[in-house]
Amino acid sequence: MTAADAGSWQAEEEEPQGPVGKAFRLSAADSLSLGNALCGFLAVCVLASSAIRSLQDGGDFRPAPSYFATAVVLLLIGATCDLFDGLVARRFRASAMGAELDNLADVISFGFAPAFMIVIWGGFTNEVPFPVVLAAAAAILIAGVVRLARFACVKTKSGDFMGLPIPMGAMTVISIVLLFEPSVPALLAVLGVAWLMVSRIEYPKPKGQLAAVVLGWIMVNVAFLTFWVAWPEGGDLPIKIGATMHIALVAAIPLRVLFYKREQRKEASRIIGD
């Protein structure tokens, strides 16, 4: 090996060290993404703990509302972190692995955690066969992973989201779990959420006042759920109202898009006819 070859070999070895070193520097936005992932992990731990404690007592397992409420609070906190990490990344310097961290955190908090919640919610009842519950949970997880992968590769012309964003999908699944007992219609609704996530329906990005409304909705739900955990005797009416409003919002957007496109087609046909 000549000196030139040795120098070239050393340069090739040392060249990647700069970018790799920079990639290991976490930014403020990365800290929020990691907080999102931690919230999702803790939510799963809370749900698993409810099952473990109940089975240790020797009785039939029935998910306690307080455990579900605690898990949902953690996921809502994770959603708040997810809402802010992009804003912080744009306002301050983002790291080289920010986008990857964000997607990985979303898989944990809004893919795996809701899927695990479905298993805990419907897997210990005689109303629905366990394989059906498992299939619905798997559909949410797979749809979430596909949704995130597509988001990283496909950009819409309007700049809006193609398909139901995974945080909204997770919150819709949670709303179904909070509102309904395990049943085939409820699981069909879960499958509908999975379909919306991988559909081509465009959902508007929360910007400006809409972002403030989304943040306000999250904080109000956190407050309601915290109240539910602390004072369960106060009833769960606020939670049911919030969950119903969320499902109505998620269902209304595709209907509004369909009506809007139909009006566009009618307008185009009228112009062509004239």
According to DSSP H, which parts of the chain are helical? Answer: 3-14, 17-23, 28-56, 65-91, 98-107, 113-122, 130-153, 166-179, 184-198, 209-230, 237-273
pLDDT at 190 (0 to 100): 93
Residue 10 pLDDT: 44
Q: What is the largest CA-CA distance in the chain?
A: 81
- Alpha carbons 148 and 150: distance in angstroms, whole number: 5
The predicted structure's pLDDT at residue 232: 59
Please give the pLDDT value at position 43. Answer: 93
State the DSSP code for 237.
H
pLDDT at 118: 94
10 Å Cβ neighbour count for 171?
A: 27
Q: Mean pLDDT, 10 residues at a time, over the chain (274 residues)? A: 48 47 67 90 91 72 75 86 76 74 90 94 85 94 91 67 85 88 91 90 70 70 68 66 76 72 70 64
Query: Residue 9's pLDDT is what?
Result: 43
Domains and CATH numbers, the chain: 28-272 (1.20.120)
In the DSSP assignment, the letter for residue 109 is: I
The pLDDT assigned to 16 comes to 46
Which of these, 173, 169, 177, 160, lies nearest to 197 by C-alpha position?
169
**Residues 82, 105: contact at Cβ < 8 Å?**
yes
Q: Is 224:242 a contact under the CB 8 Å cutoff?
A: yes
- The pLDDT assigned to 44 comes to 94
Whether pTM exceeds 0.95: no
